[in-house]
Each structure stands twice: as structure tokens, then as C-alpha cells.
């Protein structure tokens, strides 16, 4: 079987399929593990707290997506959360603990403290562990190799691949295919001339290829904006300050210092409130004329004690220090940036698309999140549905 893409979903699929006995080839546009997963800072949601339940996680997720997601897909995502955390832990992901207990935070749209972290860059820690698992699984990996074409052939699919970008082509026959190449928003954001948090490799050609083959799509034009994209300093323009800044107490203010939104509302609510505030003429202005609102990061230490930001948000704090700004004493000017495609290829509970023998997982798939994604569910999606897609594809190939 063939796995296209090597972010969290692709690597989870490869490990799962190889464990089920499949002969696996992973093809990835650049290096194994490169992509959006490694950029995810905030954390991963799963109902592992004493006062939490997978039912509560389901309700929060379904509500945040405006009840447009497929309930059975949301259910399987939430139910798979605790097992996903156990699986990642077994692979070597060390989730942050306080006095021996898992650190859990409440993020926007969640009714419970449900967000787990592995340091400050949870996605990068997941990629590190998954990369090792893929290498140990025996899966074959072709790096710097682009999928050029996919066509039905006999009892499976013929994939045309371009290794090394040197114009040569190779074809492989796969009994089953897992598409895990992401939502491709970087390419679309560049075309529209707007900011994006996506990795440079996040372009939509694999999604478009599947749609051209007749795969059903859903919510394809539903894009999530990350509410707090940095506007200034210029060297950090577009960098998304993680939602944990607001979970720890950072507040949003207009130019007059007035708060205008619940900072822990779902992302689409917060992002739209910022856009509306700026359009109403109540935004602040950066030295280059760019508009935004104030994220008062100085409130974090005021609420939690001096040194809290430097300890809990060391990565963010240091990035701004290098850019000449101390977020413990200065507010950050922010404005929403394009972040995630909520929809994608329609899948069922086994991660099967409407193309026979083709499965999808991660941001390229649709129906799991509906019209808005709950923060922390993207990393969970890559693991839960990545593993399901790998197992399903292995069974189909068998």
C-alpha cells in the first residue's frame, strides 16, 4: 500500500499498516515528517481528566463545528482520544506533568481542561516519535518525491511519482492508498496574498487530484483562521501565538483598551470578533500601518506570578526576545491568519473516501470537524484517523 504524505496522519497510517502486515511505501514531498504537524504548538485534546469524558469531548467538538460534522466521525475521534495518548506515550512522546500528574489546560470551545502538551511544541515532539516509529516499522520511505498522477489499475491504483524533482518518473502499483498530504492552505493563501501559518510544502495538488478523480468533498471552502497571528514586530509577522497564551490569561483589547470577546470562545468566534473590531475602526496600528488588536500577554505574569511566562511559554517568549520585544512587559499586536482547512475529502468511519481502495486522514479529509475545528483536535485527528486509515488500507490490500 502507498501512503502519500508524512505528517502526523501519514506516519501514523504507515506505522499502523506495517504493524498489520502490509508492505508500505511512504512518499513525501520533502523530508519525512516535514509539514504542518511539526508546527503545532498548542497541544492535543483527549478526555483523560478525572472530571472529563469522551461524551463531553464529543459535545464540545460537535458544537464548535456548528453541528455540521458527521456525528459518527466526531464520536470516533473523541472515543479514540485516550488510546491515542497511550499510543503516543508508548512511542516516546513525553507529555508534560506537574507533580506527577498530566498537565491539562482548557482551550477555546472546551468545557473541561482537556489539552495535553509535550513541552511547548507538542507537534514537533510527536513528529520526532513518529519518525522513529516509521523507520523502525520497516516501511519504505521515498523522500523528496511528489505524487504526479493516480489512476485505477487492475485491483488497485497506479501512482506516478517524481523523485528528486529532476523530471524523471517512476510508477508503483498499490492495492490501497492513504492520502495524508494535508489541506494545502499555504498554496491557496499565497495565491490570495494573505497570511498563513502553514508549512511551505502545504500545497493542495493531492487534494485536487483526488477531487478530479471523482472523490466526494465536503466543506472545502471552510477555512479556519488562527485568531492571534502576530502583526508586529515585522520579523514575526504571521507567526501564530499559541492559544495557550489565552488559556494562561492573555486578554484581547481594542485600541482604547476595551475587551471585546471571550478569549476562550471557539476560534472562529474570536477571529471574527477581531476582524469586526478592526473593520469598525477600533483597531490599533503597527509602525508599518498594519492593523490589529492588542493581545495583552503581560496579563499572564500578573495572574500567575512573575516568571510564569518565561517558564511555561519559554519558546514564544524567547522568539519575541530575539526580535527585540519582551512579551512580559509589552503587548503584542495580532490579527487572524489562515490556518486550517476544516473540510476535505469525505470519509466514513473507516477513513475510506468515495474512491474504492483510497483512504484519507488528517487535514485532507472532511467531516470530522465540520465548519470549524476545535483547537487541539487536529493533532488528535492525525493519530486517530491516521491509524484507522492505515489499518483499513492494510485490510483492503489484504
Integer Cα distance of 131 and 125 in angstroms: 10
Integer Cα distance of 172 and 158 in angstroms: 6
Q: Which of 290, 318, 338 is the last residue of a domain?
A: 338
- Looking at residue 39, its pLDDT comes to 86
Residue at 164 is within a domain: no
Residue at 277 is within a domain: yes
Please identify which residue in the block is written with the cell numbers 492573555.
250
Beta carbons of 331 and 297 less than 8 angstroms apart: yes
CATH code at 241?
3.90.700.10
Rounded to 5°, the CA angle 381-382-385 comes to 70
Integer Cα distance of 249 and 147 in angstroms: 44
Run means of pLDDT, 10 residues per run, the chain, 398 residues: 97 98 96 92 93 97 95 98 98 94 91 93 96 97 95 96 83 97 83 79 92 96 90 90 92 96 92 96 94 97 95 93 96 93 96 98 96 93 98 97
β-pairing, 145-153 with 101-102?
unpaired
Beta carbons of 250 and 207 less than 8 angstroms apart: no
Over residues 173-217, the pLDDT tens digits come to 999 999 999 988 887 777 777 778 888 888 899 999 999 999 999
Say if residue 355 is in the same domain as residue 333. Answer: no
CATH code at 50?
3.50.50.60
Per the structure, how many domains does the chain have? 2
pTM, two decimals, is: 0.89
Active site residues: 267
Say if residue 237 is in the same domain as residue 363. Answer: no
- Burial class, 160, CB count within 10 angstroms (exposed 0-12 / middle 13-18 / buried 19+): middle
Over residues 88-139, the pLDDT tens digits come to 999 999 999 998 999 999 988 899 999 999 988 899 999 999 999 999 999 9
Say if residue 309 is in the same domain as residue 348. Answer: no
- Cα 6 → chain centroid: 13
Residue at 315 is within a domain: yes
Q: Which of 322, 338, 354 is the last residue of a domain?
A: 338
Q: Among candidates 335, 76, 118, which has minimal Cα distance to 230?
A: 335
Say if residue 350 is in the same domain as residue 334. Answer: no
Say if residue 388 is in the same domain as residue 289. Answer: no
Q: Among candidates 38, 28, 32, which has minimal Cα distance to 181?
A: 28
Range of the domain at 330: 224-338
Residue at 373 is within a domain: yes
Any idea what DSSP says for residue 156? Answer: E
Say if residue 377 is in the same domain as residue 302. Answer: no
Say if residue 11 is in the same domain as residue 130. Answer: yes
Residue at 219 is within a domain: no
Residue at 318 is within a domain: yes
Say if residue 327 is in the same domain as residue 352. Answer: no
Residue at 192 is within a domain: no
Say if residue 319 is in the same domain as residue 377. Answer: no
Q: Which of 292, 316, 338 is the last residue of a domain?
A: 338
Beta carbons of 217 and 343 less than 8 angstroms apart: yes
Residue at 204 is within a domain: no
β-pairing, 2-4 with 25-27?
parallel
Say if residue 90 is in the same domain as residue 63. Answer: yes
Helix axes 8-19, 122-137, angle to 10 degrees: 30
Say if residue 264 is in the same domain as residue 356. Answer: no
C-beta atoms surrounding 290 within 10 Å:
15
Say if residue 346 is in the same domain as residue 333. Answer: no
What lies within 8 Å, CB to CB, of 156 at 6+ separation is 173, 174, 175, 176, 177, 357, 397
What lies within 8 Å, CB to CB, of 46 at 6+ separation is 57, 81, 82, 84, 85, 114, 116, 380
Rounded to 5°, the CA angle 179-180-186 comes to 120
Task: Classify 170 as helix, strand or coil.
Answer: strand
Amino acid at each position: 500500500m502507498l501512503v502519500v504524505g508524512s505528517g502526523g496522519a501519514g506516519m501514523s497510517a504507515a506505522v499502523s499498516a506495517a504493524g498489520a502486515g502490509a508492505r508500505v511505501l511512504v512518499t513525501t514531498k520533502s523530508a519525512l515528517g516535514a509539514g504542518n504537524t511539526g508546527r503545532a504548538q498548542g497541544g492535543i485534546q483527549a478526555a483523560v481528566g478525572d472530571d472529563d469524558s469522551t461524551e463531553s469531548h464529543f459535545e464540545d467538538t460537535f458544537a464548535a463545528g456548528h453541528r455540521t460534522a458527521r456525528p459518527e466521525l466526531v464520536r470516533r475521534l473523541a472515543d479514540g482520544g485516550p488510546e491515542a495518548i497511550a499510543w503516543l506515550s508508548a512511542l516516546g512522546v513525553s507529555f508534560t506533568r506537574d507533580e506527577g500528574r498530566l498537565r491539562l489546560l482548557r482551550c477555546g470551545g472546551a468545557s473541561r481542561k482537556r489539552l495535553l502538551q509535550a513541552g511547548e511544541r507538542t507537534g514537533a515532539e510527536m513528529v520526532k516519535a513518529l519518525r522513529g516509529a516509521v523507520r523502525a516499522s520497516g516501511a519504505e520511505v521515498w523522500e523528496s518525491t511528489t505524487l504526479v498522477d493516480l489512476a485505477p489499475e487492475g485491483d488497485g491504483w497506479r501512482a506516478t511519482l517524481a523523485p528528486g524533482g529532476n523530471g524523471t518518473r517512476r510508477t508503483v502499483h498499490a492495492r490501497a492508498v492513504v492520502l495524508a498530504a494535508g489541506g494545502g492552505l499555504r498554496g491557496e493563501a499565497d495565491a490570495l496574498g494573505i497570511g498563513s501559518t502553514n508549512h511551505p510544502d502545504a500545497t493542495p495538488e493531492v487534494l485536487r487530484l483526488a477531487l478530479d478523480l471523482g472523490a466526494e468533498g465536503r466543506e472545502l471552502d471552510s477555512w479556519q483562521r488562527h485568531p492571534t497571528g502576530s502583526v508586529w514586530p515585522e520579523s514575526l509577522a504571521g507567526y501564530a501565538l499559541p492559544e495557550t497564551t489565552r488559556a494562561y490569561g492573555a486578554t484581547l483589547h481594542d485600541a482604547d483598551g476595551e475587551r471585546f470577546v471571550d478569549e476562550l470562545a471557539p476560534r472562529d468566534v474570536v477571529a471574527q470578533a477581531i476582524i469586526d473590531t478592526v473593520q469598525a475602526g477600533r483597531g490599533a496600528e503597527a509602525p508599518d500601518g498594519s492593523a490589529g488588536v492588542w493581545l495583552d500577554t503581560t496579563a499572564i505574569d500578573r495572574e500567575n506570578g512573575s516568571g510564569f511566562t518565561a517558564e511555561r511559554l519559554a519558546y514564544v517568549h524567547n522568539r519575541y526576545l530575539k526580535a527585540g520585544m519582551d512579551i512580559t512587559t509589552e503587548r503584542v499586536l495580532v490579527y487572524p491568519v489562515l490556518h486550517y482547512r476544516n473540510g476535505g475529502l469525505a470519509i466514513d468511519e473507516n477513513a475510506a473516501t468515495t474512491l474504492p481502495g483510497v483512504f484519507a486522514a488528517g487535514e485532507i479529509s472532511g467531516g470530522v470537524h465540520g465548519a470549524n475545528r476545535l483547537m487541539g483536535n487536529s493533532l488528535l485527528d492525525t493519530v486517530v484517523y491516521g491509524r484507522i486509515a492505515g489499518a483499513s488500507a492494510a485490510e483492503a490490500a489484504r
